[in-house]
Amino acid sequence: MRLGLLTACLPGEPLEEIARWAGAHGYAALEVAAWPRRPGRDWEAGHLNVEDFGPAEAERVNALLDRHGLSMSAVAYYENNLHQDPEVRAATHAHLRRCVDAAQLLGVGLVGTFVGRDVTLTTAENLRLAERVLPPLAEYAAARGVRLVIENCPMEGWHPDGYPANLAYSPELWGWMAELGLWLNYDPSHLVWLGIDPIAAIEAHAERILHVQAKDVEVHPDARNRYGVFGQVLDRRPWESGWWRYRVPGHGEVDWPRLIDALRGNGYDGVVSVEHEDPVWSGDPGRVRQGLAIAQAVLAPHIRT
């Protein structure tokens, strides 16, 4: 296994600076963010411009990573592939295909995304929708030697009532995703707050895990006793449950030595990519890098081969 990081936590930093820092601080791989640059959405990282990406750009990016002793684990574009607005959904699919094209040129076999959800439909209706629209995307990727890996984040902030808005959040759905030609980008943090044993999930679905994201979660039982597992209702704010929050590895509930051992024991030998969404170690690039350094110190001793 190798330790990597998802570049989305540093949206304002150029890829060259992220690569220089990562290579000098014990990281071996980058999961490179490829959101389109859109006005008013400065939190979205576009470290690959897949809108205009050709062989010359691929050669430049690969040379940059090589200079810093890094590889690329995946191209990252985590968006709602079942969005209720048909025009938004079509644009998302078009950008995802461009991410696949870029991955092919880069020699990267994985593109990370979400299933998503049409929040105007029931879960059952969304399953049927996904069965129509997602296999062509998986087939497009497979024809180019690329596989789509789906992160198991609930994306509850997309739903007006805070319910799961990414139909990949539960191990119950991972076999269904496999039937659509989709693979798993496994993130244990989401499972913990959902009350799911992340080790059991690895053991039951190891053959579908092609990429791993490392994020921790801090749970406050007293607040859960007040709000319940569905989170705060009065004065609700999107992405804030009131009883849990994401943290860098080592500052939450995940048993990282045991989890990494379970991955290794079940044959996983890919990248463990730190996804930094810790509000304590956020606010400016310096603090984000401090959080990434903490994650590296916690994980590296267990990931070294």
- Mind listing the pLDDT tens digit for each residue in 181-225? 999 999 999 999 999 999 999 999 999 999 999 999 999 999 999
CATH architecture for the domain at 2-216+253-303: Alpha-Beta Barrel (3.20)
The model's confidence at residue 131, banded by pLDDT at 50, 70 and 90, is very high
Dihedral sign, Cα of residue 165, residue 169, residue 174, residue 176: negative
Instruction: Determine the pLDDT at residue 40.
Output: 84
Q: What is the pLDDT of residues 137-188, one digit of tens each?
A: 999 999 999 999 999 999 999 999 999 999 999 999 999 999 999 999 999 9
Q: What token pair was written down for 292? A: 């990434």
Query: For residue 52, what are the contacts with CB-CB under 8 A and spacing of at least 6?
Result: none
Q: Which two tokens stand for residue 140?
A: 């497009």
The predicted pLDDT at position 39 comes to 83
- Decide: 268 and 206 in contact? Cβ < 8 Å: yes
The predicted pLDDT at position 185 comes to: 98
Give the residue among 7, 8, 17, 87 at the shortest CA–CA distance from 41. Answer: 8
Residue 133 CB neighbour total at 10 angstroms: 15
pLDDT tens column, 269-297: 999 999 999 999 999 999 999 999 999 99
CA distance 236 to 18: 35
| pLDDT score at 174 | 98
The yes-or-no verdict on residue 37 having pLDDT over 90 is no
Identify the pLDDT of residue 43.
85
The whole-number average pLDDT for the span 100-114 is 98
First to last CA, the chain: 7
**Within a 13 Å sphere around the CA of 186, how many CA atoms are in the beta-carbon half?**
28
